[in-house]
Amino acid sequence: MVTRWGPSVLARIFRGVDSWDLQIIDGAVVVEQSGATHRAAVLEVRRPELQHTGWWTTVTLRTASGRVELPGARRSEADQIRKCILREQDLQRAATELQRGAEADLDRVAAWSEQLRQHAERPVWLAHDTLRGLDRARPALDSIDAAAREPRLGPFVGAKIAPVQQQIQNVRSLDLDDWAAARNEQFLAWESQESREFFATVEKTPLTGEQVKATVCFDNRVRVIASAGSGKTSIMVARAAYAARRELAQPAQILMLAFNKRAAEELSERVGARLGDTGSGITASTFHALGLRIIGEATGKKPSVPNDITKDKGIGRLAHVVDRLRDADPAFRRDWDLFRLVFGRPLAAFDEAPDPEAWDRDTAVSGFKTLAGEVVRSQEEVMIANWLFLNGVPYEYERSYEHDTADPQHGQYTPDFYYPQIDAYHEHWAVNAHGQAPPHFAGYAEGMQWKRATHQYYDTTLLETTSASIRNGSGFEHLARELQRLGQDLDEDPFRPIPGEEPITDAELLDLFRTFMVHAKGNQLDPATLDNTAPPGDLRTQLFLRLYATVVQAWNHDLAADRAIDFEDMINQATDHLEAGRWTSPYRLVLVDEMQDTSLARARLVAALTGAPNTYLLAVGDDWQSINRFAGSDLSVMSDFADHFGPAQTVYLTRTFRSPQTVCDIAGRFVTKNPAQLDKQVHASNPGEPTPVRAIAVEDKADYDAALDQWLTDLDNTLETTATVLVLGRYNKTEGPVSQAIGKRRRHLQVRYSTVHKSKGDEADYVVIAGLERRGFPSTIQDDPLLDLAMPGAETHPYAEERRLFYVALTRTRREVLLLTRAGHESPFLLELVGTEQTPVTAADGTDATPVICPRCKINRVVQKTGKYGPFFGCTGFPSCRYTSN
């Protein structure tokens, strides 16, 4: 397109038009006419006027200083002149606007760069919220980038943009997380020196480098994974003092939350003792005390928790509720007794083969014992037998069929059940709803066909049930109809004397329901939600949930009548008030102790307390010591910390001030056999004895006291100064067999007893773990699968929580650990230590008593037994493992 114009040649010849020349150069319109040059910025030129006369056009350009007429232009070129000037004006306006935008962006770049500089120089940790604020304020560079591409703005780019290219590049590509990490490392090093006197004196002993980092790392969310004996309480105290010292939070803005009242009181005492007047303004509280306060201040009415809930966790109150329901509601009473007598014990999955629990010497049947006293082969057959017992139906288990059926392919037929009063047989088929047996039941379908054909051939009555029908309940309804059709009376009597296996007791059932209630209410699962999430076709679950819905309704009704709440509602209601804005938290810094024992409900409360911008959460815990699942704790709160609270820093405390290195190594290897545990190293300043863990095996439980007494006496004689001994047991009752040895006064020893659960946070020079027997520690009371409906998912590793509990027991010691066991009844935990750590086991007289591990199951030990043919060696896991040898 022409960018230089003049009059038409014909116009000059025939009209005598004087020559003129028009150009657009560097944003200006330049006209040379009659020896004069006119120059005006494009933006100063008003819209060109065109006057057409015949073949030619006069172009008039007006500016503030005058006008220029350019006659004789061809029409097409006149149009070009106007279009080019107008287009150039548009481009000039756009460039000007672009420059203004770039200048504004440059101002924002300068401001953002100044923020970076100020944050880098502030004597405080750069927190996540600060970084996200910087990220949100990161200036856009669109105008600057566009200006750099615009040729008309070359001088501007050179003068204004080029000198700050590094700042622009920072805005464009600076990784704030990497930048902050490097800067925070520098700050940590500086602060460690700047405040070294503070860190040396804030606690009784100077903080370690790891403890200093946990104190200085003042991010919005910090998870401190602390080893046993690594000074967790010191971190809580130092963090609070540091926040007040650096004015990151005023004392009244600091909240310390503990798992129980004793821990909260200890925190309060430590803070008061170490921080003086500053500590008096800091709040140390249990979750429940905080919940009561929040509800009271939010509603104007502080609720109360009934004494019977505080005293025995509500078991007595629940018993009263259930007794009242049983008296008033026959349907509830029937369901309760049916569940207790028939459905009380959980079933293994259909395609699983559970380990047998009983052995009948007369019938050589290994399996499961019924209420009537015989041993049957499957859990489902136990349920059928117990249902028959409940309803007063006489039966014989695996009685020989009335006709001789033995042939080269089949032995004598023994149907599962025989009903003598109606002369009928009953086969219970191990098949699912599709008629399929478990894969490991080879030839099962052929066997079913042969048995049915046998009854048809001899014209005998056969009743049938299946695994699927017993599990979904229809099998019992079918069995009741068929028995009554054939003339069998049903006489339901839950109080009939029980000669065989005791059913689940009312006390056990109450404990199950109360535990379920704690978790269901804590996780805000009402009966309708539980029904929707329950697996279909499972009568045990449906029956339990039907009972639970009635129980929890009555429980809540009683609480409302008393104008009271339970602990679960307390936490949930407090969180509701926080989330709805009916209570405003005054706390800027929240410190949580024993985070691994926190429930989902408590985690929700903590998240609500620390959800506002520029609030700070520090949670201290050790997933290796998570031992309170039945109190509602959810290990995922610690292990999946960021999922619950948002992006977080993790700091490790790996140095222990308690146990020697040899104990730490043994205990660490033991607990991490469960791959779900977080991996960490534990370092001790004391190397310890080469064999810090040893065991004594007695012949009988009655020998425990004498063995412990002798060991304590020998230890006392070797000491010249006072030492402490902590005797630990899985249960309170474990103390009984060793109580005399514990109570005996000794010159150098202070001996006391505790359960392992209560010993959390405790320590002693020597630790004795008593009652380390099979079916004792680890506890073989399995978590009922019903609890998984309301609790954190079941852990897949065997004895996962019991393994952590044993770790807690081992790490209470400052010197050595003694394990007390019974020969032939050793705990699988002890057998594991013997196999992996070569833990020595001696008899009470000092002779070697190291157990022989079973070569077949590699879990239990081999001991001498006596059978009807004389002595032999067999696995203690019988009947699950049948290894024997001469």
Pairing of strands 254-258, 870-875: unpaired
How far apart CA 563 and CA 550 sit, in angstroms, is 20
Q: What is the DSSP string of 736-747?
A: GGGHHHHHS--S
State how beta strands 841-843 and 723-729 pair.
Answer: unpaired
Q: Residue 281 in 3-state DSSP? A: coil
Helix (H), strand (E) counts: the chain: 32, 32
Fold of 195-303+584-656: Rossmann fold (3.40.50)
Element housing 70 (H / E): strand 66-74
Q: Is 793 annotated as a binding residue?
A: no
pLDDT at 154: 62
Q: How many CA atoms lie within 13 A of 662 on its CB side?
A: 15
Residue 229 marked as a ligand binder:
yes
- As a whole number of angstroms, the distance between CA 325 and CA 333 comes to 7
Type of residue at 584? T
Annotated ligand binding at 821? The verdict is: no
Nearest CA to 809 out of 839, 776, 836, 769 is that of: 769
Q: Is 228 within any annotated ligand binding site?
A: yes
User: pLDDT of 480-511, one tens digit each?
Assistant: 999 999 999 999 888 889 887 788 888 889 98
Place of tokens 């695996």: 398
Distance CA 804, CA 621 (A): 13
User: How far is Cα 413 from Cα 417, in angstroms, rounded to an integer?
Assistant: 12
- Residue listed under structure tokens 């910090």: 222
- Please tell me the predicted confidence (pLDDT) of residue 462: 97
Q: Letter for the amino acid at 797? A: H
The architecture in CATH of the region 689-844 reads: 3-Layer(aba) Sandwich (3.40)
Answer yes or no: is 234 a known binding residue: no
**Separation CA 754–CA 750 (nearest Å):** 13
Q: What are phi and psi of 608, to 5 degrees?
A: -70, -35
Low-confidence ranges of the chain (pLDDT < 70): 1-2, 143-150, 152-159, 162, 348, 350-367, 780-783, 792-794, 866-869, 877-880
CA 293 to chain CA centroid, Å, is 27
Single pTM value for the model: 0.79
Phi and psi (nearest 5°) for 421?
-70, -25
Q: What's the pLDDT at 360? A: 46
3-state secondary structure of 874: strand
The one-letter amino acid code at 340 reads R
What's the topology of domain 1-165? PH-domain like (2.30.29)
Please list the alpha-helical segments (H only) found in 785-853.
800-810, 828-837
* Predicted pLDDT of residue 1: 42
**How much is the pLDDT for 14?**
83
154 labelled binding-site residue: no
Q: What is the structure's pLDDT at 618?
A: 98
Which tens digits make up the pLDDT trace of 534-581?
Answer: 888 888 999 999 999 999 999 999 999 999 999 999 999 999 999 999
